[in-house]
Amino acid sequence: MSAKLSVLIVDDNRTNLALMDMLLRKLPGCVTQLQTDAHALLAGIDRLDYDIAVLACRLPQIDGITLASRLRDEPRLRHKPILLTADEPNQGMRGSAADAGIAEVLGKPINPVEFRARIQGLAHQRSPQADSASPWDEPAGAPPEVTAREEEYLNALVRVAGYREQESPLHSQRMARYCAILAHNLGLPEEFCRDLRHAAPLHDIGKARLPDALLRKSGFLSPEERREMEEHTRIGHGMLQGARSRVFRMAAEIALTHHERWDGSGYPQRLKGEKIPLTGRIAAVADVFDALTSIKSYKTSWSIANAFTYLHDNAGEQFDPACVAAFESAREEIAEVMRAMPDPDDGTADAA
């Protein structure tokens, strides 16, 4: 999250307001503006500014969808993303919200993990006029999408990383697809999911600088060898950081954080919970799932069912529970990726 993210929250229920305020203040650099009175808000619309608005659907004087339209009538605010919170959002309400230009609808009671994930997602689609940049915003003058040339560079790097791959030859590609599916199920914006799919295959590129003997070693590693192996995270980050490209910067973050664990016992920084960037939390789930279900030279693959059970059993310890839940809800799509990209001599016939 950037140094400054201003979120306007409008809700006449002070308990809801306090909860959302507390959740957002835990995000680094996030500041909130709280408002219970929609008319007072509109009376001061000339001075109003924010990056994201969170509006309750049911308000005493005006409903949230109408309020969203009024805010979007103001040219300065037209492109600011809006999240609508509603007691029981149905299809009709979602349709009206979409017509009013509302980016997201979230059901109440507020699920803290989902709420923060949605806000983080919306932070990525802030208006280009925003005076502060999210980590993935391109610097001025840079192209907004992955260009064909950038994709060529990325693909070449992925091939280089693949030479040092300890997993199956298709591990990185499948893992990246799983990342994108998981992010999509978390409700993150399409652009973020697309970037993630390009960035995630580079998660282990730091292994390019590790000695062959270490990478090829089968069996247990000594404590010293383990420490050396763990360095691939910092090495990969060092290789990718500092780029202008949004995708490369995302890849750097994933390289550094994909072995962190939700309970703080991972490496290299022993980050805990939401201190781990969302990209790293997503990559951790996808990476382990593919490692378990793909064939390595010294083991056979797990069935899909067993791999999902492993993720489920380790949610809240190794993995972010929200990421595991989002991954579990995409079981069919995951199985489809496995069918489409089998390992050579893949034993996925037992996958159910």
Cis amide bond preceding 342, omega within 30: no
- Of these, 63, 287, 320, 343, which contacts Fe ion (CB under 5 A)? 287
Q: Which is nearer to Fe ion, 120 or 233 (CB)?
A: 233
- Of these, 63, 195, 204, 320, which contacts Fe ion (CB under 5 A)? 204
Angle between helices 232-240 and 246-257 (to 10 degrees): 170
Phi, psi dihedrals of residue 61, rounded to the nearest 5°:
-95, -25
99-108 burial: b if 16+ Cβ within 10 Å, else e: ebbbbbbbeb
Stretch that binds Fe ion, among 42-50, 82-90, 181-189, 280-288 (CB under 5 A): 280-288
Q: Which of residues 68-97 bind Fe ion (CB under 5 A)?
A: none
Stretch that binds Fe ion, among 94-102, 154-162, 223-231, 279-287 (CB under 5 A): 279-287
Stretch that binds Fe ion, among 15-23, 85-93, 187-195, 200-208 (CB under 5 A): 200-208
Stretch that binds Fe ion, among 51-59, 88-96, 121-129, 199-207 (CB under 5 A): 199-207
Q: Which is nearer to Fe ion, 40 or 160 (CB)?
A: 160
Q: Which is nearer to Fe ion, 11 or 204 (CB)?
A: 204
Q: Which is nearer to Fe ion, 178 or 192 (CB)?
A: 178
Cis amide bond preceding 109, omega within 30: yes
- Backbone dihedral region for residue 180 (phi beyond 0: left; psi -120 to 50: alpha; all else: beta): alpha
DSSP labels, 202-269: GTTGGGGGS-HHHHH--SPPPHHHHHHHHTHHHHHHHHHTT-SSHHHHHHHHHHHHTT--TTS--SSS
State the minimum distance, in angstroms, from the CB of residue 99 to Fe ion: 43
> What is the x/- site pattern for Fe ion, positions 293-312, by CB under 5 A?
--------------------
253 forms part of the interface with Fe ion (CB under 5 A)? no
CA–CA separation, 281 and 284 (whole Å): 5
CA count, 13 A, side-chain hemisphere, 274: 15
- CA angle (242, 147, 149) in 5-degree steps: 85
207 flagged as catalytic: yes
| 299 three-state secondary structure | strand
State the minimum distance, in angstroms, from the CB of residue 255 to Fe ion: 8
State the minimum distance, in angstroms, from the CB of residue 171 to Fe ion: 6
> What is the x/- site pattern for Fe ion, positions 157-196, by CB under 5 A?
----------------------------------------
Angle between helices 148-163 and 171-185 (to 10 degrees): 130
The active-site residue out of 207, 217, 272, 299 is 207
State the minimum distance, in angstroms, from the CB of residue 170 to Fe ion: 11
- CA angle (75, 81, 85) in 5-degree steps: 125
Which residues here bind Fe ion, judged by CB under 5 A?
A: 204, 287
Any idea which residues carry the catalytic annotation? 207
